Amino acid sequence: MKDYRFGKNGIMALSLVITVLVRVCFSHAADRSELVNVIKTIPPNGPFWKYGTLEMRRKTKKAGMAAAVFPHWSHRARYTCRVCHEELGFSMRAGDTGISRAQYVSGKYCGACHNGVTAFTVQEGAVRHCDRCHMKDTAALEKQFDAFAEKMPFAKFGNGIDWAAALRADGIRPQNALSGEKEILPLPEKLKVPMKLGTAAPRSDVAFSHEEHYLELDCSACHPDIFNIKMKGTKAFTMENNIFGNYCGVCHMRVAFPMNDCKRCHAQMSGSILP
């Protein structure tokens, strides 16, 4: 049914109000109270199993199939981000890849692994596995998560799993290429020193480690699309922008530990600045 509450003009007026509000709030360096308001927009942590679990329904909805569910937590335990986001060409923006059944049946995207050899197949046949992706309910997946997470180092947010610690302790050993191992070029010496991303605000220093990220990601995951390679060249590199899914927030709001976990980036921060 059509909604008559806002006419076209109503919508324009509303968007003007929003634009003005956004301008007022974000056009200059946020002072403390503004920043607190910005930080309050971080969504609360949902159920651990759900973080990084995507429900893909762009094409399924029209076709009358249940949404295809893609859990990052189970796949990242087996493969590094580079396998899917470089080698197989999945986008890091949900919905962006535009995966269709025709593509994955011919061996692209999900079909590169879900071929009956590496993982259960996408093909039609005597045994159909359609429901294992096109899930009518997620109870079994949630149970699988609980069993998996129990063995992993704990973190407060995101999946409730400290993935960095799991990697360091060999709790997970994701492979770097579809075919098994791949020679990864050594990281240039000068990038081995963690970079200080300074800010004017007290105790908000961030140490960014290229080395830690290079374990999972290639340079092209971040340069030049997310970060300008020229130090400090990345414009408007603030918390607001991070929170709205830019810069660090491209990953650290969706798959890697989320922005709620202040201390993991701001080691000197004593707690939360939230009231």
Kindly identify the residues of this chain, within the stretch 99-118, that bind ligand HEC according to CB under 6 A.
99-102, 109-110, 112-114, 118
Question: Of these, 66, 149, 177, 201, which contacts ligand HEC (CB under 6 A)?
Answer: 201
What b/e string do you get for 123-140 counting C-beta neighbours within 10 Å, with b at 16 or more?
eeeeeeeeebbbbeebee
Residue 199 engages ligand HEC in binding (rule: CB under 6 A):
yes
CB 22 → ligand HEC: shortest distance, Å?
15
Question: Of these, 66, 92, 172, 177, which contacts ligand HEC (CB under 6 A)?
Answer: 92
CB 247 → ligand HEC: shortest distance, Å?
6
Of the listed pieces 7-15, 16-24, 43-51, 52-60, which binds ligand HEC according to CB under 6 A? 52-60
**149 or 273: CB nearest ligand HEC:** 273
**68 or 152: CB nearest ligand HEC:** 68
Q: How far apart are CA 150 and CA 152, in angstroms?
A: 6
Question: Of these, 48, 53, 81, 176, which contacts ligand HEC (CB under 6 A)?
Answer: 81
Question: Of these, 49, 97, 152, 176, which contacts ligand HEC (CB under 6 A)?
Answer: 97
A 10 A CB-CB count for 11 gives 11
**11 or 25: CB nearest ligand HEC:** 25
Dihedral sign (CA 139, 254, 110, 147): negative
A 10 A CB-CB count for 144 gives 15
**15 or 128: CB nearest ligand HEC:** 128
Q: Up-side HSE of residue 83: CA atoms within 13 Å toward CB?
A: 19
Kindly identify the residues of this chain, within the stretch 211-270, that bind ligand HEC according to CB under 6 A.
212-214, 216-217, 219, 221-223, 226-229, 231-234, 237-239, 242, 247-248, 250-252, 254-257, 259-262, 264-266
Instruction: Tell me how many residues contact ligand HEC (CB under 6 A).
Output: 108
**2 or 235: CB nearest ligand HEC:** 235
CB of 141 within 8 A of CB of 147? no
Between the CA of residue 218 and those of 42, 70, 223, what are the distances in Å?
28, 22, 9
CB 233 → ligand HEC: shortest distance, Å?
5
Q: How far apart are CA 206 and CA 125, in angstroms?
A: 52
Contact pattern for ligand HEC over residues 145 through 184, marking x by CB under 6 A? ------------------xx-------------x------
